[in-house]
Amino acid sequence: MRIPLSSPDITESEIQAVSSVLRTPRLSLGPKLEEFENSVAAYTGAAHAVAVNSGTNGLHLCMRALGITEGDQIIVPSFAFIAVANAVRYERATPVFVDVDAETLNLDPARIEAAITPRTRAILVVHTFGCPADLAPIFSVARKHGLRVIEDACEAIGAEYEGRKVGPLGDAGVFAFYPNKQITTGEGGVIVTQSAQVAALARALRNQGRSQAGEWLEHGELGYNYRLSEINCALGIEQMKRLESILVKRDAVAREYHQRLGGIPDLKLPPLDMPGRRISWFVYVVRLGARFTQKQRDWIWAGMTKRGIGCGRYFGPIHWQPIYRDFAGPRHDLPNTEWSSLRSLALPFFNNLQPAEIDEVCETLQELMHAVPG
């Protein structure tokens, strides 16, 4: 792609940091891991941070550490990456899909209570595209029904809700650092929590069930190899140093898009500013108006792609995925999820996207919208 959908921002300092690790004998479970975890904990206000090898595995360990087990029900949005539902099913629990708010595309607090049953154990909140979910009413429902809250902040490091960083506000939260995220470790994620018990269990589970106090070949839990290498952590440490400047850059790109696309008929833009919340821009997703069908959206997507402009169709609802179509979980109406998924387009979005490239993306999008076949 001439203008890719995403592009990691790697500088010489990060290259040198990774190279320096390769000159040491310690490539796993070393000082860089601890330094990276401490930097994420300090930045987010979490008492504990546990680095793992992906956001997906971080969500899985949250399920285990919070005692989610077979037969439990977990409320999740269907307008999300499939990992949120898969992590639930890894523990043989059941994802219960609840609709999203039409404006923010986050879990709609007003629809949660109707989905709660005696088997419900937790609410998995996704801060979709880096936009913080409305946590206060979600926490209120959770307290009323004795439910855990897990924050999927994989797309939202640096986002804030009422002056506090998202992630450690619930019982546990997860960030992810795939190359398309705000910052990257190549592959990787971090669990954040205020609970020493949750953190200790997550640390044991990521390392084949070994406790920190036990011997290397002593395994107290059914664990996994979810470790994050020193190489990944060295990259993450350097990226964390630049996180705030990166978020400023990404906010500027979002505002450039808003300036160029604002006022176009049949095009709904994401919220730019929200009272009491700070958006950490992961992607910039627009929605076509009601006159556009899924087929027409896909025609525009194909046209952008043919011209070398990366686009994404975010998100296809999880309940429409082949593995979930016949899933026997509880069913609820999801009109906002389904309407938005048919008309969403993620536009190229990364730190160093240039104004001329934004111009080309916006001009091409408008041209294709006008030319779309009936």
Q: Compute mean pLDDT per 10 residues along the chain, 374 residues long, and list them.
A: 97 98 97 98 98 98 98 97 98 97 97 97 98 98 98 98 98 98 98 98 96 84 97 98 98 98 96 97 98 97 98 94 86 94 98 97 98 94
Same domain, 341 and 259: yes
The pLDDT value given to residue 327: 84
* From 165, 181, 249, 306, active-site residue: 181
Same domain, 111 and 227: yes
Domain end, chosen from 241, 271, 300, is at: 241
Range of the domain at 194: 12-98+105-241
Domain end, chosen from 209, 241, 273, is at: 241
C-alpha span between 173 and 240 (Å, rounded): 18
Same domain, 215 and 162: yes
Same domain, 216 and 189: yes
We report the CATH number of the domain holding residue 289 as 3.90.1150.10
Residue 185 lies in a domain: yes
E runs forming strands in the chain? 48-52, 73-77, 94-98, 120-126, 148-152, 160-161, 164-165, 172-176, 189-193, 267-268, 277-278, 284-288, 344-347
Q: Catalytic: 181?
A: yes
**CA neighbor of 22 nearest in space, from 233, 245, 248:** 233
Residue 359 lies in a domain: yes
**CA neighbor of 110 nearest in space, from 82, 140, 151, 132:** 140
Same domain, 265 and 236: no
Same domain, 212 and 251: no
The pLDDT value given to residue 326: 85
Residue 6 lies in a domain: no
C-alpha span between 40 and 46 (Å, rounded): 8
Same domain, 114 and 166: yes
- Backbone φ, ψ for residue 195 (5° rounding): -95, 120
User: How many folded domains does the chain comprise?
Assistant: 2
**CA neighbor of 108 nearest in space, from 84, 83, 134:** 134
Residue 285 lies in a domain: yes
Same domain, 273 and 204: no
pTM of the model: 0.97
374 residue type, one letter: G
Who contacts 265 (Cβ-Cβ below 8 Å, separation ≥6)?
A: 289
Residue 3 lies in a domain: no
C-alpha span between 306 and 273 (Å, rounded): 33
H helix runs in 69-174, sequence order: 83-90, 135-145
We report the CATH number of the domain holding residue 78 as 3.40.640.10
Same domain, 139 and 175: yes
Same domain, 44 and 176: yes
Same domain, 140 and 40: yes
Domain end, chosen from 241, 269, 294, is at: 241
Who contacts 133 (Cβ-Cβ below 8 Å, separation ≥6)?
A: 104, 106, 107, 125, 126, 127, 161, 166
Same domain, 248 and 223: no
